Structure formats: C-alpha cells, structure tokens
C-alpha cells in the first residue's frame, strides 16, 4: 500500500515557465512533508519542507503548498531553469522520530 503517491512519472516544461509537481498521501498521521531533488548518480538533496500547521512555504523559486483536507501537496518552481531537470521525490513523516516515506518520484525536464 503506497502511502505517498506521485502519479506523474515525468513532466516536461519550457524554460521560464512554471513547473508544478504533485503528491498525494493517504496516512492522516503524516504531519511533515519534504521535497528532495535527485540528479543521476547522486543522493537526494533536500529542497524544501512544510509542516502541517502551515499551508504554504516559500524559498526563492520554490514554493510548496499543502492541502490537508485533500491530503495533497504540490511543489511549484517559478521560473523553471534547465538546471532544475532532475527527479523530484515527495516524502512524508508522522509526528516524532518516525521514518520518511517516499513517493516514486517525478522526472522533471526543463527544455531550453
């Protein structure tokens, strides 16, 4: 049973436009959410996070939105750049020292 789902395996966006990556979760105990970015042959790199007490968190070009009632979060990248081309993983955890549960990832391609 997949508790964190990224239903789009891939996404292509033109440079300068907005990239929107989506993530759904099923476990209502999850209260902390993270996005990681992964380049080939490297480990995942932490990008941005959000706790369940917020519905938005922004860091430069990256914004994460959380809709708790829909159990949905999204990552917006504006403007998209070719260097953003990577696999993006959504991850979630429950309160306290519990393990992260990852989605399968979405491969973003930003086309110049």
Partner 1 sequence: EAGVAQSPRYKIIEKRQSVAFWCNPISGHATLYWYQQILGQGPKLLIQFQNNGVVDDSQLPKDRFSAERLKGVDSTLKIQPAKLEDSAVYLCASSEMWETQYFGPGTRLLVL
Distance between first and last Cα of the chain: 38
Q: Determine how many CB atoms are found less than 10 A away from the CB of residue 16.
A: 11
> Which residue, among 48, 81, 78, has the nearest Cα to 66 in the 3D structure?
48
- Closest approach, Cβ 91 to partner 1, in A, equals 8
- Closest approach, Cβ 76 to partner 1, in A, equals 20
Give yes or no for residue 99 binding partner 1 (CB under 8 A). Answer: yes
- Closest approach, Cβ 17 to partner 1, in A, equals 26
* Segment lying near partner 1 (by CB under 8 A), choices 53-61, 65-73, 78-86, 96-104: 96-104
Asked whether the CA dihedral 91, 56, 10, 27 is positive or negative, the reply is: positive
Question: Are the C-beta atoms of residues 77 and 61 closer than 8 Å to each other?
Answer: yes
> Which residue, among 44, 64, 51, has the nearest Cα to 96 in the 3D structure?
51
Give yes or no for residue 97 binding partner 1 (CB under 8 A). Answer: yes
- Closest approach, Cβ 66 to partner 1, in A, equals 15
Tell me which residues in 1-60 interact with partner 1 (CB under 8 A): 4, 32, 34, 36, 41-46, 49
- Contact set with partner 1 (CB under 8 A): 4, 32, 34, 36, 41-46, 49, 89, 91, 93, 96-100, 102-105
């Amino acid at each position: 049973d997949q508790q964190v789902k990224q239903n789009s395996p891939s996404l292509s966006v033109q440079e300068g436009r907005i990239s929107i990556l989506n993530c759904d979760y099923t476990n209502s105990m999850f209260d902390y959410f993270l996005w990681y970015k992964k380049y080939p042959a490297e480990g995942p790199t932490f990008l941005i996070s959000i706790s369940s007490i917020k519905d938005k968190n922004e860091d430069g070009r990256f914004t994460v939105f959380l809709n708790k009632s829909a159990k949905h979060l999204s990552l917006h990248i504006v403007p998209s750049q070719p260097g953003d081309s990577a696999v993006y993983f959504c991850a979630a955890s429950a309160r306290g020292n519990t393990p992260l549960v990852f989605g399968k990832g979405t491969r973003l391609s930003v086309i110049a």
